[in-house]
């Protein structure tokens, strides 16, 4: 994965991706004690940045291979991104989801054109199911982050940040990115290393699930003690990716971790001050910008708000939190 692949992905995405705005509020600047800009990827198609990587990967396939169809494993944002990107290419997609995934996510994925196959987490082998699909139907698997074309697609958000920040006269900033497997963070870091080399990219994770931050300290892949228990479900992953971690190690100095309560506060403040809807996993970078000021390195911080697929109950919970 390199900058040329990101530029090529960007060319393929022209007219399909949404160029999401860089938002701000004097009220948030005051809380953070510095200038804060928010890259609102919640406004991307399907409500998260995942559409970029999915479209990039699908558009990079040969027409013949693509026509056989796309396969993905996901119960969340990646599922919706792949389903819509496949639909826009006029090819079928099969999304393998756990039987106990929320009905709304299953319905959304179907409504976007995905063929949803449900499996039982306890009794069925997800990977075996997927391999059979690849073999029998000739489907191509699009991974959520450990795929060069997926990383390249996420990196197109970084190209936009470089242009939008330059338009505002900003070349020097700390860029905080919500980080699960590291696809978005490594893509943006690669793009900015080329187009805005004075910017410093740092991953942000939920406290207790900061495998990437600890891996950066250790220099080797670290894993989380637990695999569930955060409200930031979209970015809870066991360990950084095989392809993403070497990029992060090369380009990111350190990571940050925020609590669930800080993520909820960031959701409420984004509602009040930016008029955007964030999900917990999409709010951790903004939370770090607002509440970790002492540990930040730059006077200007760009926080990537990576997604907004939150259900009504969780949003109500965020509105109830005390600021």
Q: Which residue lies nearer to a copy of itself by CB, 19 or 194?
A: 19
Distance CA 291, CA 172 (A): 21
Distance CA 91, CA 80 (A): 15
Residues contributing to the site for a copy of itself (CB under 8 A): 18-21, 23, 26-27, 30, 40, 42-43, 47, 84, 108, 111-112, 271, 274-278, 308, 312, 315-316, 319
Give the nearest distance from C-beta 42 to a copy of itself in angstroms.
4
Give the nearest distance from C-beta 280 to a copy of itself in angstroms.
14
Give the nearest distance from C-beta 277 to a copy of itself in angstroms.
4
Q: Which residue lies nearer to a copy of itself by CB, 1 or 284?
A: 284
Residue (of 92, 20, 82) closest to 53 by Cα position: 82
Q: Which residue lies nearer to a copy of itself by CB, 20 or 222?
A: 20
Q: Which residue lies nearer to a copy of itself by CB, 40 or 213?
A: 40
Give the nearest distance from C-beta 227 to a copy of itself in angstroms.
27
Q: Which residue lies nearer to a copy of itself by CB, 81 or 182?
A: 81
- Region of 157 please: left (phi>0), alpha (psi -120 to 50) or beta: alpha
Two tokens at 80? 């919706």
Place of tokens 């930016």: 274
- CA Rg value for the chain: 18
Residue (of 31, 44, 28) closest to 272 by Cα position: 28
Give the nearest distance from C-beta 249 to a copy of itself in angstroms.
32
Q: 312: burial class by Cβ within 10 Å (0-12, 13-18, 19+)? A: exposed
Q: Which residue lies nearer to a copy of itself by CB, 23 or 82?
A: 23
Helix axis angle, 50-60 to 77-88, nearest 10°: 40
User: Kind of pairing, strands 140-141 and 256-258?
Assistant: unpaired
């Amino acid at each position: 994965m390199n900058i040329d692949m990101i530029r090529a992905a960007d060319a393929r995405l022209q007219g399909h991706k949404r160029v999401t705005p860089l938002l701000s509020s004097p009220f948030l600047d005051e809380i953070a004690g510095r200038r804060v800009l928010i890259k609102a990827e919640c406004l991307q198609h399907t409500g998260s940045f995942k559409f970029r990587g999915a479209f990039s990967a699908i558009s990079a396939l040969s027409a013949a291979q693509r026509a056989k169809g796309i396969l993905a494993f996901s119960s969340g944002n990646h599922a919706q991104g792949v389903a819509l990107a496949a639909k826009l290419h006029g090819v079928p997609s099969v999304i393998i989801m756990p039987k106990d995934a929320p009905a709304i996510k299953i319905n959304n994925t179907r409504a976007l054109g995905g063929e949803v196959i449900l499996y039982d987490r306890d009794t069925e082998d997800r990977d075996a199911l997927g391999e059979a699909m690849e073999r029998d139907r000739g489907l191509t698997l699009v991974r959520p982050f450990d795929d060069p074309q997926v990383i390249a697609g996420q990196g197109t958000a970084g190209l936009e940040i470089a242009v939008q920040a330059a338009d505002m006269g900003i070349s020097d900033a700390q860029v905080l990115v919500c980080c699960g497997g590291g696809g978005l963070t490594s893509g943006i870091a690669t793009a900015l290393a080329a187009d805005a080399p004075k910017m410093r990219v740092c991953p942000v994770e939920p406290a207790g699930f900061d495998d990437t931050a600890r891996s950066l300290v250790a220099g080797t892949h670290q894993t989380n003690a637990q695999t569930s228990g955060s409200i930031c479900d979209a970015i809870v992953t066991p360990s950084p990716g095989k392809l993403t971690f070497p990029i992060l190690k090369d380009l990111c100095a350190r990571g940050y971790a925020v609590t669930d309560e800080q993520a909820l506060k960031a959701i409420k403040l984004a509602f009040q001050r930016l008029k955007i809807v964030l999900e917990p996993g999409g709010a951790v970078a903004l939370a770090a910008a607002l509440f970790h000021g002492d540990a930040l390195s730059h006077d200007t911080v760009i926080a990537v708000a990576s997604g907004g697929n939150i259900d009504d109950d969780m949003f109500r919970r965020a509105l109830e939190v005390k600021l």
